Amino acid sequence: MGLSVGIVGLPNVGKSTLFNSLSSKQAEAANYAFCTIDPNVGVVPVPDPRFDALVELFQPKKVVPATVDFVDIAGLVRGASKGEGKGNAFLSHIRDADAIAHVVRCFEDDNVLHVDNRVDPAADIETIETELVLKDLETVQKRLDKARRAAKGQNAYEKKAVAVCEALEARLDAGTPARGFEVEGDDEQRILHDLFLITAKPMFYVANVKEEQIGSTDTDPLVAEVRKIAEERGAPVVCISAAIEAEIMQLPEEERAEFLESLDLEEPGLHQVIRTGYQMLNLITFFTCGPNEVHAWTLEKGLKAPQAAGKIHSDFEKGFIRAEVITSEDMLELKSEQAVKAAGKMRLEGKEYVVQDGDVVHFRFNV
């Protein structure tokens, strides 16, 4: 699996409806709790106007967009961390995710059952986050038991684990997510990382609003509740109407623009969900372009040119000589490599170059 975003939320908040639109895969969306039984994974291309424009310019034989995997899991209910509902088993699937999309129901619809019989975003968020914290607490306590036993044998690494886990236990016990918890030392960082805590993952909220509200999410009181909490957490909010997204995806492609316009929307809300997920993962995109292929590559922010080359092929990294770099803006404006070169806008970069989002790169290497 590639980089992944796990979708969490209460039952019946629209997770599968969103997931289906994201992956255009018709997993069932049914009006009853726990209709999602298997975790579903959808590989979703990341919408990127630069990529589209580069494809248009190069007219390559093959196109490869950047992708993110979305994972749909069953709704979590109060007590999920202790095995209530189907959610517990699925919590282990989100442990593998790199980021979390928390879907919050902001739509009233008497035909769609709410597990607690009321639409109350703040309370829903609280319920879900409590379960996630409790699940992490359980993980930490298990590790702590093991570490304490091993530390008796004077194992230095395990002694450090005891200290890390005790601090985490206190934090989680107070209801605070692990996010923002910092440790010093390489061992400590590894101990923390190896716990795969759910509440340590980057997270954003998806407010699922009713169809009539999609044009006025700025004034929607239910969305405002989500925004308030999100602000406290420093987390982004994306507003969508999952029902509308599902409708858009059912339309033939050429009719989508008109439908969006009729709703006063610039793009499907899904695009924002995907982009936000991608941003949460702290990634950038660089491109390789030619007549055979236009390829969007995903790279962790801050990596240097040889590592970027290594994404394409390990030989590219081993035999790295230099990178010829053009910004996608220059490439698109000047329309050919020769024109870019002539304008003096192609840069030759070496081993220390930190690849930037949007770079069009040609690697020179020697094997």
Ligand X SMILES: Nc1nc2c(ncn2[C@@H]2O[C@H](COP(=O)(O)OP(=O)(O)OP(=O)(O)O)[C@@H](O)[C@H]2O)c(=O)[nH]1
Instruction: Output 38 or 333, the one with its CB closest to ligand X.
Output: 38
Say whether residue 263 binds ligand X (CB under 6 A): no
Q: What is the DSSP string of 222-271?
A: HHHHHHHHHHHHT--EEEE-HHHHHHHHHS-HHHHHHHHHHTT-SS-HHH
Give CA–CA dist 20/14, Å, rounded.
10
Residue nearest to ligand X (CB): 75
Contact 107, 241 (CB under 8 A): yes
Q: What angle do CA 90, 39, 124 make, to 5 degrees?
A: 55
Instruction: Output 216 or 314, the one with its CB closest to ligand X.
Output: 216
Give the one entry of Mg ion, ligand X, none that residue 100 binds, where binding means its C-beta sits below a cut-off of 5 to 8 angstroms depending on kind.
none
Binding mask 46-75 for ligand X (x = CB under 6 A): ----------------------------xx
26, β-bridge pairs: none
Contact 305, 311 (CB under 8 A): no
Collect all residues with Cβ–Cβ distance below 8 Å to 317 and sequence separation of at least 6: 306, 307, 309, 310
Give the one entry of ligand X, Mg ion, none that residue 210 binds, where binding means its C-beta sits below a cut-off of 5 to 8 angstroms depending on kind.
ligand X
Tokens 């035999």 -> residue: 319
Site for ligand X in 11-30 (CB under 6 A): 11-17, 29-30
Give CA–CA dist 331/53, Å, rounded.
10
Site for ligand X in 231-260 (CB under 6 A): 241-243
Binding mask 110-149 for Mg ion (x = CB under 5 A): ----------------------------------------
Site for ligand X in 96-155 (CB under 6 A): 107, 109, 112
Site for Mg ion in 21-40 (CB under 5 A): 36
Closest CA to 238 of 200, 276, 265, 212: 276
Figure out which of the listed residues 16, 21, 199, 276 binds Mg ion, where binding follows CB under 5 A: 16
Please give the residue ranges that form the binding site for Mg ion (CB under 5 A): 15-16, 36
Please give the residue ranges that form the binding site for ligand X (CB under 6 A): 9, 11-17, 29-31, 33-36, 74-75, 107, 109, 112, 208, 210-211, 241-243
